[in-house]
A and B are shown apart, each in its own frame.
Chain A
Amino acid sequence: MESIDINGLTRTYGDTRAVDNLTFTVMPGRVTGFLGPNGAGKSTTMRLVLGLERPDGGTATIGGKQYADLTDPLRQVGALLEARALHPGRSARNHLRYLATTQGISMSRVDELLELVGLADVADKRIKGFSLGMGQRLGVAVALLGDPGVLMLDEPVNGLDVEGVRWIRDLLRGLADEGRTVLLSSHLLSEVAVTADHLVVIRDGKLIADCSTSELLDGGSSGAVLVVTPEPARLEEIVVTAGGRVLAQRGYSVTVGDLPATRIGELTARAQLVLHELTPQRASLEDMFVELTAELTTTGSAS
């Protein structure tokens, strides 16, 4: 199975760098969570992979090839971009049929997929009347139509009910276990942490973390300490000298890693540095995500 290789990818809209020198690889056989707050550049990255937009710099390839050079691309890459990339006046079956026709895929595969995503009963109804969740299911059917080795899904659980969310998790897990390459984007860490083996986190188009899910989770509760001091520069000096690291800093708040709170207390007392707060962090998943995507002064614990 093929990997998705993003290399130095850059895309600018006017003055905004939507994707900024992004480099990462999505490996086969696992689910890679693609995380970032809304507007971080996840969707743009996916559109660049699909060749819907052109990069200003860098490359995005699938198994070493540009998407546009793939023959019958839907047989190699399945993508769910947005639920509503569907004509409201067309039926679900006809939508799948024309796509299948472009790729030389049999009509029996269309019926099979309608069954799989649970739309067989409404297959001949116009998409106009579909709920958001039904639209998502049809989008998943489009992505799976060509039985592709690479799958890219942008916020697929949007609009799905609890049952739908579990269904899609199990589905993606199964596809990755078959050796496929699965990239799953979300702006909520909790949504992908359950499913993803690996996480790629971006913010403002830049890579913030590219590590296994367990690494990120452990990293979050491995004793980062929040220190508030009127002299953050001195604190940093003390921390770094003692072998610790500044993970994040915002104003007077400094998140320190690799040093326990007790040791920070001793060091700062010895240096007569005033502290207003010294709190070991027990980050929840969401906190950690916010922390990761907040403005960082350093690259943080994940690299």
Chain B
Amino acid sequence: MTSFNRGIAAEWIKLRSLRSSWWTLGAMVVASIGLATLVSATNAHGYSGFSAADKASWDPTNVSLSGTVFGQLAIAVFGVLAITGEFASGTIRTSIAATPRRRRLLAAKAVVYGGVALVIGEVLSLAAFFIGQPIIARHAPHASFGEPGVARAVLFAGVYLALICLISLGLATLVRHTAGAITAVVALLLVVPAITSALPSSFQHSVGKFMPELIGGNSMGAVVPEPHSLTPLVGAAVLCLYAVVMLAAAGWALARRDVV
């Protein structure tokens, strides 16, 4: 085994050996599927009263993926704890003593935590879709997996969660403290888009589409295109770019800073 592969194996042991990992992931699964079920049911119930415009933009796939709003927060916490847990406990000293090439340590974490987030994200998105559609079908038009764009939207919703995990890992490596990092991620995901939506619509339309949360909901996880949003592929590319930039900055900071 190369030393990078051993680093990945070690991160996997670290992840598995902490209960907090399982709690975070468990919370994510329960909250996301629960929320997806709820949103699917209420939206489908309301469908008959929708305006023609709302009916035209009805996107049952997107509705069944609504749990992502919660899921992204749980996955963000998962990504944050991957590194802040080490800073808080002092394990980071041991980890760096074992792997003095610190970027390699961060890369191994990104592979393991990003990988787990991807698997869970996909399972979750598929589950939400297949649980949500029958509920929607009772009162409104529903989507089937084989229709154009549906499989892509469901799978991209899982990819979205994995990328959020990586962005959170990078941000947390820069911030180093759990509470601060979680605050920063929540601000990035929820507060900034909220502020943007309060600004003049021209600004909203030009900037809003680059917000991670809106890339997830309106681009990657949508079948019916939303106005003023990026196409799914461009959205995914932009989010990948965010993750790469964030991890590069994190690697730079981790390699440079003292570990006291």
A residues at B contact (CB < 8 Å): 47, 50-54, 67-68, 70-74, 79, 81-82, 84-91, 94-95, 97-99, 101-104, 142
> Inside 8 A of A104's CB, which chain B residues have their CB?
1, 3, 6
**B20 lies within 8 A of A89 (CB):** yes
**A52 lies within 8 A of B10 (CB):** no
Can you add 14 more A-B contacts, CB < 8 Å, to A85-B91, A99-B94? A50-B93, A50-B97, A52-B93, A68-B100, A73-B98, A74-B98, A87-B91, A94-B14, A94-B17, A98-B10, A98-B14, A99-B98, A101-B13, A102-B7
A206 to B136, CA, bound (A): 75
**B96 lies within 8 A of A52 (CB):** yes
Given contacts A89-B18, A104-B6, contact A142 B94 (CB under 8 A): yes
In the complex, B260 has a CB within 8 A of chain A: yes
> Inside 8 A of A95's CB, which chain B residues have their CB?
17
**A81 lies within 8 A of B1 (CB):** no
* Interface pick from B45-53, B82-90, B121-129, B175-183: B82-90
A68 to B100, CA, bound (A): 5
Residue in B3, B13, B90, B101 whose beta carbon sits within 8 Å of that of A94 in the complex: B13
**A85 lies within 8 A of B17 (CB):** no
CB nearest neighbor in A for B93:
A85
Residue in A84, A94, A101 whose beta carbon sits within 8 Å of that of B89 in the complex: A84
A101 to B6, CA, bound (A): 6
In the complex, B147 has a CB within 8 A of chain A: no
CB nearest neighbor in B for A44:
B260
**A70 lies within 8 A of B100 (CB):** yes
**B97 lies within 8 A of A52 (CB):** yes
Within 8 A of A (CB), among B81-123: 85-86, 89-91, 93-94, 96-101
> Inside 8 A of A99's CB, which chain B residues have their CB?
10, 94, 98
Instruction: List 24 A-B pairs, Cβ < 8 Å.
Output: A47-B258, A51-B96, A52-B93, A52-B97, A52-B260, A53-B258, A53-B260, A73-B100, A82-B90, A84-B89, A85-B94, A86-B90, A87-B85, A87-B86, A89-B18, A89-B19, A90-B17, A98-B17, A99-B10, A101-B13, A102-B6, A102-B10, A102-B98, A103-B6
Residue in A51, A79, A86 whose beta carbon sits within 8 Å of that of B91 in the complex: A86
**What's the least CB distance linking B206 to chain A, in Å?**
43
A101 to B17, CA, bound (A): 14
> Inside 8 A of B94's CB, which chain A residues have their CB?
85-86, 99, 142
CB nearest neighbor in B for A71:
B3
**Which of B10, B94, B99 is most buried by chain A, counting CB atoms within 10 A of its CB?**
B94
**A52 lies within 8 A of B17 (CB):** no
> Inside 8 A of A50's CB, which chain B residues have their CB?
93, 97
> Inside 8 A of B101's CB, which chain A residues have their CB?
68
A136 to B64, CA, bound (A): 52
Residue in A67, A85, A98, A101 whose beta carbon sits within 8 Å of that of B90 in the complex: A85
Given contacts A89-B19, A91-B17, contact A101 B9 (CB under 8 A): yes
> Inside 8 A of A68's CB, which chain B residues have their CB?
100-101
> Inside 8 A of A91's CB, which chain B residues have their CB?
17
Q: Which 5 A-B pairs have the closest CB atoms?
A: A94-B17, A85-B90, A68-B100, A101-B10, A98-B13
A81 to B97, CA, bound (A): 10
CB nearest neighbor in B for A82:
B90
In the complex, B259 has a CB within 8 A of chain A: yes
